[in-house]
Amino acid sequence: MNNSLNNLSPLDGRYSDRISDVALLFSESALIQKRFDIEIEWLLFVLNENFYQTIKISKKDIKRIKKFQADFNNSYAKKIKSIENKTNHDVKAVEYFINDFLKKNGLEKFVSYVHLGLTSEDVNSLAYALMIRDITDKSISSLNELNKKIKFLATKYKNISFLARTHGQPASPSTLGKELLVFNKRLKRQLVIVKNIKPMAKWGGATGNYHTIHIANQKRDPVTIATKFIRKFNIEHNKVTTQIEPHDWIAEISHSFIRINNIVDDLNKDMWLYIANDIYALKTVENEVGSSTMPHKVNPIDFENSEGNIGLANALFNYFAEKLSKSRLQRDLSDSTTIRNVGVAFGYSIISYKSTLNGLNKISPNKKKIKDELNENWSVLSEAVQTVMRLENIDNAYEKLKELTRGKSLNKQKYIEFINDLNISSKNKEYLLKLKPENYIGVAPKLK
């Protein structure tokens, strides 16, 4: 855990132990390494593809360069950053670092082919595509863990009926499991959508017209060459762009995670209300304090924490979707500083998923409260009664039940008296007399 108390962002301080592995995927060091790997791979690609007048490279030299690539560590990143401080250009710093290695290791004949035919945005677009793919996969893994827990509880509680509420008022009963299943299904659908979004990168040079690759390979299609290289990384090649990849796919991912996060937040809010209404009880944690002055407090802090972090994540995702898909003419630099923060939104999201999961691990149904609440609300059976009355062609069925129940207390005795006075078939009368709020749950336990 990061023990520094001087970090500006809680992601790097208070919450660092929760997302340490996530931070590594979108750190400055990670970005530098991705650029470094891409530049090395492109160098070897250029040499192996026999670009115009390129020097042939031996297997021995390929092995030496590959070892240099594999040995990337924090010292590499620091040296590249030091070069950047002088050049004030991040991608050029990587190029100079590689050139320095080649010169010092008898490989100077390959220096002119480093970064050949590229603009920095080619490298950056591929680097960010790889990083966003990695952090998306990490987020999906965290969501799968959360959704697995939701499905487990949905199955475990599928037969526990309780008083549902619409507009905050008593409504036709449901089961705790079915209501959790709703969230499981919603998340499952959105996860399918986000998994199908393909990360994209461009490789077309300064204004997207493949000028320099075309010069280096005048007898070959430069678009085909670029596509062949991009596919080495399992990334889709966006063939027609300006200097920058237009980031529409990032907007798609951002919008997907906004929807995913809204679903998780909807669950947070429901759980908060269920706990507030004693439908669920929270397990106590030894030595945990709920209030600085009220010793009895056991608060739904995990759901509240998740809600707050989702708000931060979605504010960022919304901005990314709005901002990154717009650029002046062939490019401006406003996307550069923006895209560096994409990992922050994922960081807040993953914290929220873990907090919601922690909250779900602490809940248990308050069966006494649930039973008492059902027994106090026999009026919810009015829906069933008026439906049977309609089927038996009794006029004004709805109005008669409205007169009996709306704004009035209906207990078991009054309910039975009303049913016995109905002029309906013995079969339907028997059905209604057996009906109770706790068993009026439709097919809720059978839904999958």
What CATH number has the domain bearing residue 422? 1.10.40.30
Q: Kindly indicate the confidence band of residue 298, based on its pLDDT and cuts at 50, 70 and 90.
A: low
pLDDT greater at residue 10 or residue 320: 320
Task: Tell me the pTM.
Answer: 0.92
Regarding whether 302 and 158 lie in a shared domain, the answer is yes
Question: For residue 166, what are the β-bridge partners?
Answer: 169
Question: For residue 282, what are the β-bridge partners?
Answer: 363
- Structure tokens of 398? 């709805």
Regarding whether 402 and 342 lie in a shared domain, the answer is no
Domain boundary, last residue among 116, 133, 149 = 116
Please tell me the least confidently modeled range out of 136-140, 213-217, 245-249, 361-365: 213-217
Q: Which of 167, 292, 296, 426 is catalytic?
A: 167
The tens digit of pLDDT for each residue in 348-364 reads 999 999 999 999 999 99
Residue 183 has pLDDT above 70, yes or no: yes
Residue 69 has pLDDT above 50, yes or no: yes
Regarding whether 150 and 106 lie in a shared domain, the answer is no
Question: What pLDDT is stored for residue 222 in this prediction?
Answer: 95
The tens digit of pLDDT for each residue in 136-147 reads 999 999 999 999
Residue range of the domain that includes 198: 121-203+242-367
Question: What pLDDT is stored for residue 247 in this prediction?
Answer: 97
The whole-angstrom separation of Cα 268 and Cα 302 is 9
Question: For residue 84, what are the β-bridge partners?
Answer: none
Specify if 208 maps to a domain: no
Neighbouring C-beta atoms of residue 443, cutoff 10 Å: 7
Regarding whether 383 and 280 lie in a shared domain, the answer is no
- Structure tokens of 346? 């994922």
Residue 9 has pLDDT above 80, yes or no: yes
Question: What pLDDT is stored for residue 290 in this prediction?
Answer: 54
Integer CA distances (angstroms), 315 to 142, 255, 258, 261, 344, in order: 20, 11, 9, 11, 11
Whether 237 sits among the annotated catalytic residues: the reply is: no
The whole-angstrom separation of Cα 180 and Cα 103 is 62
Rounded mean pLDDT, 184-207:
97
Question: What pLDDT is stored for residue 292 in this prediction?
Answer: 41
Rounded mean pLDDT, 236-240:
97
Q: Which of 20, 141, 291, 334 is catalytic?
A: 291
Regarding whether 311 and 247 lie in a shared domain, the answer is yes
Question: What pLDDT is stored for residue 294 in this prediction?
Answer: 46
Whether 167 sits among the annotated catalytic residues: the reply is: yes
Regarding whether 322 and 409 lie in a shared domain, the answer is no
Rounded mean pLDDT, 66-80:
97
The whole-angstrom separation of Cα 406 and Cα 314 is 41
Looking at residue 90, which CATH number applies to its domain?
A: 1.10.275.10
**Inter-residue contact 438 to 372 (CB < 8 Å):** no
Question: What pLDDT is stored for residue 291 in this prediction?
Answer: 47
Regarding whether 319 and 440 lie in a shared domain, the answer is no
The tens digit of pLDDT for each residue in 299-310 reads 789 999 999 999
Regarding whether 256 and 153 lie in a shared domain, the answer is yes
Question: What pLDDT is stored for residue 32 in this prediction?
Answer: 97
278: left (phi over 0), alpha (psi -120 to 50) or beta: left
Regarding whether 383 and 306 lie in a shared domain, the answer is no
Specify if 233 maps to a domain: no
Rounded mean pLDDT, 95-111:
97
The number of domains in the chain is: 3
Looking at residue 333, which CATH number applies to its domain?
A: 1.20.200.10
Regarding whether 195 and 335 lie in a shared domain, the answer is yes
Residue 3 has pLDDT above 70, yes or no: no
Domain boundary, last residue among 338, 367, 396 = 367
The tens digit of pLDDT for each residue in 387-403 reads 999 999 999 888 888 88
Specify if 39 maps to a domain: yes
For the chain, the average pLDDT equals: 93
Question: What pLDDT is stored for residue 285 in this prediction?
Answer: 63
Neighbouring C-beta atoms of residue 271, cutoff 10 Å: 23
First to last CA, the chain: 41
Specify if 321 maps to a domain: yes
